[in-house]
């Protein structure tokens, strides 16, 4: 599966530039929203970069397998290709999960009170 998340990478870079500029620190509400977005984007960008590197390494390993005559180097490339073929789907799955936007209610605190209802004394045991 191919992911093209360059727009999110660019947004992350623009947030970094905005934070480096320093003007955002005067507006605390906007700063909080920006930091939440940055946290969300950083997780995606890190996984995306890892996926890009793994895909590149896989291509390089396959080129070595096709073009190299040294048996020891070919054996090392086979092991690397096998490891990357297992790693790439795992990283893709993590990236799919990371792309799900967070629920704004996730950061809020909740108090739940459980009371015994109808059912006699047994209902109060749990």
Read off the DSSP letter of residue 55. Answer: H
| Nearest by Cα to 50 from 95, 99, 101 | 95
Question: Average pLDDT per run of 10 along the chain, which is 126 residues long?
Answer: 80 91 87 90 93 93 86 88 92 92 80 72 63
pLDDT for res 114:
74
pLDDT for res 122:
66
d(CA 79, CA 77): 5
């Amino acid at each position: 599966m191919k992911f093209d998340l360059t727009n999110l990478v660019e947004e992350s870079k623009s947030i970094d530039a905005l934070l480096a500029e320093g003007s955002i620190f005067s507006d605390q509400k906007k700063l909080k929203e920006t930091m939440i977005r940055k946290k969300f984007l950083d997780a995606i960008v890190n996984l995306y970069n890892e996926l890009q590197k793994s895909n590149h390494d896989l291509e390089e390993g396959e080129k070595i397998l096709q073009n190299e005559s040294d048996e020891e180097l070919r054996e090392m490339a086979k092991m690397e290709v096998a490891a990357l073929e297992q790693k790439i789907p795992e990283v893709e799955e993590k990236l799919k999960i990371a792309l799900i936007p967070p629920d704004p209610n996730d950061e809020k605190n909740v108090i739940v009170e459980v009371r015994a209802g109808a059912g006699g004394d047994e209902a109060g045991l749990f």
